[in-house]
Amino acid sequence: MEQADHILIVDDDREIRELLVSYLERNGVHATAVGNGRQMRDVLDNHPVDLVVLDLMLPGEDGLALCRDLRAGPHKRIPVLMLTARSDEADRILGLEMGADDYLAKPFAARELLARVRAVLRRARMLPPNMELTEQATVLSFGDWRLDTVARHLLDTEDTVVALTGAEYRLLRAFLDHPQRVLTRDQLLQLTQGRDADIFDRSIDLLVSRLRQRLRDDAREPRYIKTLRYEGYVFSCAVTAR
């Protein structure tokens, strides 16, 4: 029998923990719930975990700090689904930058959480077909830049390394894998986060703005990422792989 996925829920609300554990277990997912970062680390150090559901608002160490530590430590490859407040768009962006793979705004339905969990796990385990060719390349070159896809470093013409957050790297890879092609916000969210946008979601626009700053790309006269009104974005520069 195939072993059930093990989901670790980190939330200081006992009622939410109990509800989610009960729902996930009824749907064939093994779930463990804890209330703080210390308990989270104890579970991670002693049990295999396939995904962490991490609440942003925690007493003591908050979700952003815990997510950052996860990405820097021995459990850095475990996917993270961040739980956030609907109105805190800046916090959602920060969560993605710290390395969260997706976020879910409170309040939410348990079945939506299950759907997001399954989507993140699928994305973590399966390389998207439209990325198979370029994923084999070590370096992607475009304009004045090179992206080392092993070290995840962006380098300029003088070999100066420009650090990218996890969210910025995934967005740049989406553009480099689909150069000179119009990508809608929904498509970019699917490629980078494996989910659809909602009408309040402006995270892609904010990430595009941050990525332009990394590339020193003037939004008024962009060389790399152009905005097409009512359509989305297009990466207008040719990309070579080696």
pTM summary value: 0.61
Q: Look at strands 182-183 and 225-228 and give their pairing.
A: unpaired
Taking a C-beta distance cutoff of 8 angstroms, is the pair 148, 156 a contact?
Answer: no
6-125 topology per CATH:
Rossmann fold (3.40.50)
Flag the least confident range among 24-38, 117-131, 207-221: 117-131
Name the residue ranges covered by the structural domains of the chain.
6-125, 130-241
- Give the length of the chain: 242
Residue 197's pLDDT is 45
Class of the domain covering 130-241: mainly alpha
- Evaluate if residue 189 carries a pLDDT over 70: yes
Query: Which residues, other chains included, contact 139 with Cβ-Cβ below 8 Å and sequence gap of 6+?
Result: 146, 147, 148, 149, 241, 242
Residue 70's DSSP bridge partners are: none
Strand segments, DSSP code E, in 87-194 are 102-106, 139-142, 145-148, 153-155, 161-162, 182-183
Structure tokens at 223: 């060389």
Q: What is the DSSP letter of 17?
A: H
pLDDT band at 227 (very low <50, low <70, confident <90, very high): very high
Domains 6-125 and 130-241 share a fold: no
pLDDT at position 133 is: 36
Bridge partners of 1, per DSSP, are none
